[in-house]
């Protein structure tokens, strides 16, 4: 009986949510480790170092915001079902595995993004991998959660797929100009805002109807 209870407890989403929160928090904290200025500088050296730290600050801000979006989406997906064992659990761990490595492509982006195409491509590929895994989680759990209405499925999927569209489209751009590709990523934030508002509005309309 206790074995059955333990198996049931391990399948509930609360433990995966707690694990996800911890790994997201660690990844977000590690992003800040590359943002530093050497001690003992004179005034001129300090201002030069401050200007040179701009790419690190920009990469940190970008990755923090993206991880915040993925964290929110991860929690929403996990809360879709009372049980998350089997394939959804494996997909969740796969998402967290890629999340944990985000500080590495972020550091490459900060150091080489302006002049190295593959630093930009690696970063974009990492974000696309996370998004595709979250989409796989959603597709696996939606039947169990009862998200069967076509409109509801499409609304949520459109919101989830936004990062892979933006970052995937930036890869061929990066082959021509890495800096332009990085500027393209900023389109994610207004896109997610518009899609999120549309999804909430349509859900409110359906409830009222």
pTM above 0.75, yes or no: yes
Give residues with Cβ within 8 angstroms of 190, minimum separation 6: none
d(CA 90, CA 97): 10
Between CA 25 and CA 30, with CA 28 as vertex, the angle to 5 degrees is 110
Q: What is the pLDDT of residue 14?
A: 84
pLDDT value of residue 142: 73
Specify the pLDDT at position 83: 65
> How confident is the prediction along the chain (209 residues), in pLDDT tens digits per residue?
344 344 444 456 788 899 999 999 999 999 988 777 777 777 777 787 778 788 889 999 999 999 999 999 998 888 876 666 678 889 999 999 999 999 999 999 998 987 889 999 999 999 999 999 999 988 887 766 554 444 556 777 788 889 999 999 999 999 999 999 999 999 999 988 888 777 677 666 666 65
Q: Give the pLDDT confidence score for residue 130 in this predicted structure.
A: 96
Which has the closest alpha carbon to 30: 70, 84, 75, 67?
A: 67
pLDDT value of residue 149? 46
Alpha-carbon gap, residue 21 to 94, rounded angstroms? 15
Secondary structure tally for the chain: helices H, strands E: 10, 0
pLDDT given at position 132: 95
> What pLDDT does 35 receive?
77
pLDDT of residue 207: 61
């Amino acid at each position: 009986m206790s074995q059955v209870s333990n198996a049931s407890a391990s399948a509930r989403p609360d433990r995966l949510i707690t694990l996800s929160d911890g790994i997201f928090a660690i990844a977000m904290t590690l992003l800040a480790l590359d943002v530093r200025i050497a001690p003992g500088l004179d005034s001129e050296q300090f201002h030069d170092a401050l200007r040179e730290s701009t790419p690190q600050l920009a990469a940190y801000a970008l990755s923090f915001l993206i991880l915040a979006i993925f964290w929110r989406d991860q929690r929403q997906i996990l809360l879709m079902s009372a049980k998350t064992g089997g394939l959804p659990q494996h997909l969740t761990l796969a998402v967290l595995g890629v999340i944990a490595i985000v500080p590495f492509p972020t550091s490459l982006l900060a150091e080489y993004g302006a002049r190295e195409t593959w630093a930009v491509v690696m970063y974009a590929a990492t974000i696309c991998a996370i998004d595709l895994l979250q989409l796989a989680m959603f597709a696996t759990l939606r039947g169990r959660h009862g998200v069967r209405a076509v409109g509801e499925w499409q609304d949520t999927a459109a919101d989830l797929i936004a990062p892979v569209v933006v970052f995937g489209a930036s890869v061929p751009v990066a082959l021509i100009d890495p800096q332009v590709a990085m500027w393209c990523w900023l389109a994610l934030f207004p896109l997610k805002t518009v899609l999120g508002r549309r999804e909430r509005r349509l859900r409110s309309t359906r409830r009222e109807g």
